[in-house]
């Protein structure tokens, strides 16, 4: 069973529908007790960093999530803001992240006359940097839908599975042990997103 964490900050219907479309058993969970029963976890998210972390902590989910991932070694997939919250801190806010990977979140910075605007919205190709189970059989021309103003910077380049380009390379897919993250929205990325979520379900 894949448990999608509902902490009150986003509409989760499209993520549930896509997981079920690829044949996965999926459910929403919003309590510590439900988190304890999860076989795999998905941490989605949209909006501001502090709002997301604050909502997790208010519900008592942050510590429970860390325990399930670090001690019980349950696979976790962070999506968009969910991926950013895996790190230690963010330029967007003052609260500490989950600290599941050694990384920090930075805002895109471009010259005033740059063609690149913030937020970054649209479809981008991935550039694979190393092999990993999330990217199995995706192919060289896989495209995903992004919508974000901030991006994660990993201290260890070995955690980076794939990058995308928006005025420079940024981390698009990461893996550190049983912790996975994607900056894009697989639930909005059609057949490529379906393939990636199927790979996660098959871990």
List the catalytic residues.
Answer: 80, 185, 187
168 near 124, Cβ under 8 Å?
Answer: no
Classified as helix, coil or strand, 96 is: coil
Is the bond preceding 119 in cis, omega lying within 30 degrees of 0?
A: yes
Strands 76-79 and 179-182: parallel
Cα gap 120→198, rounded to integer Å: 26
Q: How many whole angstroms from its chain centre is CA 180?
A: 7
Specify the residue for token string 């974000």: 148
Strand pairing partners for 174?
A: 160, 181
129 near 161, Cβ under 8 Å?
Answer: yes
């Amino acid at each position: 069973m894949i448990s999608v964490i509902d902490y009150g900050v986003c509409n989760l219907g499209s993520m549930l529908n896509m997981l079920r479309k690829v044949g996965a058993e999926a459910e929403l969970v919003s309590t510590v007790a439900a988190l304890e029963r999860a076989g795999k976890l998905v941490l989605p998210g949209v909006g501001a960093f502090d709002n997301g972390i604050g909502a997790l902590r208010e519900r008592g989910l942050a510590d429970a999530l860390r325990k399930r991932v670090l001690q019980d070694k349950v696979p976790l997939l962070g999506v968009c803001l969910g991926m950013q919250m895996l790190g230690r801190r963010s330029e967007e806010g003052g609260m500490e992240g989950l600290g599941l990977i050694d990384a920090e979140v930075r805002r895109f910075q471009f010259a005033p006359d740059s063609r690149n605007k913030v937020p970054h919205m649209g479809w981008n190709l991935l550039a694979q940097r190393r092999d990993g189970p999330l990217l199995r059989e995706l192919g060289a021309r896989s495209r995903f839908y992004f919508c974000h103003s901030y991006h994660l910077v990993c201290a260890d380049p070995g955690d980076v599975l794939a990058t995308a380009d928006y005025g420079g390379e940024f981390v698009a897919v990461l893996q550190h042990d049983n912790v996975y993250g994607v900056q894009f929205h697989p639930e909005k990325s059609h057949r490529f997103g379906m393939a990636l979520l199927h790979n996660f379900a098959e871990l």
